[in-house]
Amino acid sequence: MRKKSLIRKLFAGFLLIYLVLVIIYFSLSYYVNRQLESRGTQIALKNCSKIWATRGLNTRIGGLFDNANTIEAVNRAFRQGAVGTEIDIFYDRQRQEYIVSHDYPYNLKQGKLLTLAELLKATGHKGYFWLDFKKMRHLSKSVAKEAAVNLRSLVDYYSDNDAVFVEGHDPINLAYFRSAGFQTIFDSHPPPDHWPFTSFVMNIYKMVFYFGDHTVMGIEYDDINRPVFGPDTFKATTNVPLFIYHVPNDRALLKKLSTHNNIKVILDIDDAAAVFDINACQPTKR
> What is the Cα–Cα distance from 157 to 94, expressed in whole angstroms?
22
| Per-residue pLDDT, 277 | 87
Could you give the CA distance from residue 196 to residue 234 in angstroms, rounded to a whole number?
15
82 neighbors 73 (Cβ within 8 angstroms): no
Q: Does position 148 have pLDDT exceeding 70, yes or no?
A: yes
3 pLDDT band (50/70/90 cuts)? Answer: low
Domains of the chain in start order, with CATH, are: 40-268 (3.20.20.190)
pLDDT one-digit tens code per residue, 20-49: 888 898 899 999 999 999 998 888 787 788
pLDDT, tens digit (0-9, with 9 covering 90-100), for 190-225 = 998 888 888 899 999 999 999 999 999 999 999 999
pLDDT of residue 64 exceeding 60, the answer is no
CA dist 40 and 42 (Å) reads: 6
> Does residue 284 have a pLDDT over 50?
no
Q: Is the peptide bond before 105 cis (omega within 30 degrees of 0)?
A: yes
Q: Which pLDDT does position 141 carry in this prediction? A: 96
Q: How far apart are CA 258 and CA 280, in angstroms?
A: 6
Output the pTM of the full model: 0.91
